[in-house]
């Protein structure tokens, strides 16, 4: 249980990574009550300095003893490190908010999107899981529609940026683009195929059922967060040559009829959602416009004419912010309330 304080000691595990740096930045932006920031990373980043609230803070090595005196630990250091170090952080008295997939489907660990199921936080036993970046963006937009009309089925195709894989993938895309425009051979290290000017229907490992782990994460996480196993979910996840922001084409079938205008009105009043939908004026969400934004943008809202109660939506969110770092900080904000 978190003791109520005016300010909290906050650790960021994986502080030098793309999401970790975003976490540090968002803590400062949102004026989270931090008495001391404890940035943690692997041995190779130990001793680096990161800026927080006008000060240079030294990065410490991530160890099991690093969490003494820490109130809240934001983890973005990968699943293996979460499994190794999160239980030690809890033993030290910290509450862990973990961005990896390590604990998401553990029935004892809440999986939380604050706009969707903030009540689940109360059931934690020291660890709270941050969902997959694609799941977060989709459910921020779909939960208000589910509350209004009861979603029966979701069909989603994602168009996910390379930053979802990390800095090496960002560098690989940039290097391949430069090489191709200069008529040089490309190098493939992060992805099995060329990512520049290409789309890869392959995110994470393939499973026996023909789906990838990323696709099945969206299926299982949606049911857990929405607290409704009756919702049918099927996903195709695609890596695209975009640096930042995930886009999703989402089709839903509902019990109750919702017109496109009704859906726009519901989403316009929904927390964390920005309706950006006027196709006649070429207004619809674009990754380059949503980058750096906190809201989940929704556009291309239209009725599915192939079924009585269906809608199509185009959803875009910043995978490093709302899809990861921001959602974790929002969970921490709910926690201290």
Whole-angstrom Cα distance, residue 237 to residue 243? 16
- End-to-end distance of the chain based on CA atoms, in angstroms? 12
Among 109, 102, 71, 69, CA closest to 85: 102
Identify whether 245 is a catalytic site residue. no
Which residues, including other chains, have CB under 8 Å from residue 65's CB and lie 6 or more apart? 88, 92
Identify whether 133 is a catalytic site residue. yes
- The two three-digit tokens of residue 252, written as one number: 């839903």
Q: Crossing angle, helix 133-149 and helix 260-268, to 10 degrees?
A: 110
- Which of 124, 146, 245, 246 is catalytic? The answer is 246
Cα-flanking dihedrals φ and ψ of residue 182, to 5°?
Answer: -110, 15
Q: Which residues pair with 296 in a beta bridge?
A: 273
Contact 146, 313 (CB under 8 A): no
Q: Which residues pair with 8 in a beta bridge?
A: 34
- The two three-digit tokens of residue 256, written as one number: 């109750």
Q: What is the DSSP letter of 166?
A: -
Cα-flanking dihedrals φ and ψ of residue 189, to 5°?
Answer: -120, -40
- Which of 124, 133, 146, 245 is catalytic? The answer is 133
Contact 291, 297 (CB under 8 A): no
Whole-angstrom Cα distance, residue 288 to residue 245? 8
Whole-angstrom Cα distance, residue 29 to residue 12? 15
Kindly list the catalytic residues. Answer: 133, 246
């Amino acid at each position: 249980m978190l003791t109520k304080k005016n300010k909290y000691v906050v650790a960021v595990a994986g502080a030098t990574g793309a999401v970790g740096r975003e976490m540090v930045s968002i803590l400062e932006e949102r004026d989270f009550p931090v008495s001391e920031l404890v940035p943690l990373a692997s041995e190779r980043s130990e001793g680096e300095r990161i800026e927080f609230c006008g000060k240079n803070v030294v990065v410490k090595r991530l160890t099991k003893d690093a969490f003494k005196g820490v109130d809240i630990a934001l983890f973005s250091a990968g699943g293996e490190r979460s499994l190794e170090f999160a239980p030690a952080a809890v033993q030290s008295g910290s509450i862990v908010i973990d961005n990896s997939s390590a604990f998401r489907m553990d029935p004892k660990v809440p999986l939380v999107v604050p706009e969707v199921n903030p009540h689940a936080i109360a059931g934690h036993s020291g660890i709270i899981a941050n969902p997959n970046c694609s799941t977060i963006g989709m459910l921020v937009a779909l939960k208000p529609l589910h509350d209004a009309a009861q979603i029966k089925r979701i069909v989603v195709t994602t168009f996910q940026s390379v930053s979802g894989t990390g800095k090496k993938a960002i560098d690989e895309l940039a290097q391949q683009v430069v090489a191709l425009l200069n008529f040089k051979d490309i190098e493939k290290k992060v992805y099995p195929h060329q990512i520049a000017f290409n789309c890869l229907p392959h995110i994470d490992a393939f499973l026996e059922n023909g789906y990838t782990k990323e696709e099945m994460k969206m299926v299982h996480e949606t049911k857990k967060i929405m607290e409704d196993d009756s919702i049918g979910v099927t996903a195709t996840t695609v890596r695209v040559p975009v640096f930042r922001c995930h886009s999703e084409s989402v089709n839903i079938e509902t019990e109750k009829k919702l017109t496109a205008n009704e859906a726009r009105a519901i989403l316009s009043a929904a927390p964390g959602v920005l309706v950006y939908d006027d196709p006649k004026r070429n207004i619809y969400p674009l990754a380059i416009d949503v980058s750096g934004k906190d809201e989940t943008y929704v556009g291309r809202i239209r009725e599915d004419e192939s079924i009585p109660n269906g809608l199509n939506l185009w959803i875009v969110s910043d995978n490093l912010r709302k899809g990861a770092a921001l959602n974790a900080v929002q969970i921490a904000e709910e926690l201290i309330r």
